[in-house]
Amino acid sequence: MQFQSKACCSRPPVVLAGGYNYTPKGTYTTYQGLKTYETGPQTSKRGILFIYDIFGLYIQTLRGADILASGFPSPLPGLHLDTSGTYRVFMPDFFKTEPADIANYPPKTPKQFEYITNFMTGPANPANTLPLIGPLVEELKAKNPEIESWAILGFCWGGKIAALSSQEGSVFKASAQAHPSLLDTEDAKKVVIPHVVLPSNDEVPEVMEEWVTELKKASPKSYNETFTDQVHGWMSSRADFENQHNFEEYLRGYRIVRAFFDEHM
């Protein structure tokens, strides 16, 4: 049985205050007809396919891609940390500039509930995205031959894509997902590569526990950690940079993913 995180479709993204300023470091390229955010050194030998959440190319998610590619900001002025830049990260715009409309979150009217249902069964239906992954990776590999190994990271519904892309015949060496949705234990049973999963406090504990149990049976090198005081989406569109603790946990999530990929790629 598949479980969708209630918070995925009820909690709005965090709109940062007007004073917040971040300029993405990457550029946009086209792969398989999809506008793709690309960041990290051209000399990188390891690549990450980054599957965003239902709100698309959100500034918090773009910053996450930059962090994976180029390191972490320092907590102290003048101190620089972890800027090795060993990854090149690719974030395709699967929703083609039409992500979930934040005006419908949280839903209050029948029309808003209908919109969310249609979005999750239409553009965000994994059955529509999964067939695109193979050809997309083939083109990424062809146009970036210096990259020798690949990983995949997904958020929310993107976590489902990451899990399904981690099964027999996977082109990826490792995979990850944070604040997952659309969880199905049958997916976990079929994972064959090291996989890290980082739930929030919004996921259903019983569902998550069963999923992780099956994951570790199928892929013993996998890892999980629940961020018990963070909301669904804290590593992507619901990241709250204006709350110091939440920002630190956002960074810690990316450190875990990056360290996991370092070990298994």
Query: Would you list the domain boundaries of the chain?
Result: 2-264
Using CA atoms of 111, 117, 119, 121 in order, give the dihedral in degrees to the nearest 10.
-150
Contact (Cβ atoms closer than 8 angstroms) between residue 91 and residue 65: yes
The rounded percent of the chain whose pLDDT value lies above 90 is 76
Q: Which residues of the chain have pLDDT under 70?
A: 1-20, 72-85
Q: What distance in Å separates the CA atoms of residue 107 and residue 104, rounded to the nearest whole number?
A: 5
Whole-structure pTM value: 0.90
Res 102: pLDDT: 87
Res 28: pLDDT: 97
Res 70: pLDDT: 82
Res 84: pLDDT: 52
Res 257: pLDDT: 94
Q: What distance in Å separates the CA atoms of residue 38 and residue 142, rounded to the nearest whole number?
A: 15
Kindly list the distances between the CA atom of residue 231 and the CA atoms of 84, 170, 251, in Å, as whole numbers in the listed order: 30, 30, 14
Res 22: pLDDT: 81
Res 5: pLDDT: 52
Res 165: pLDDT: 98
* The CATH number of domain 2-264 is 2.40.160.50: no
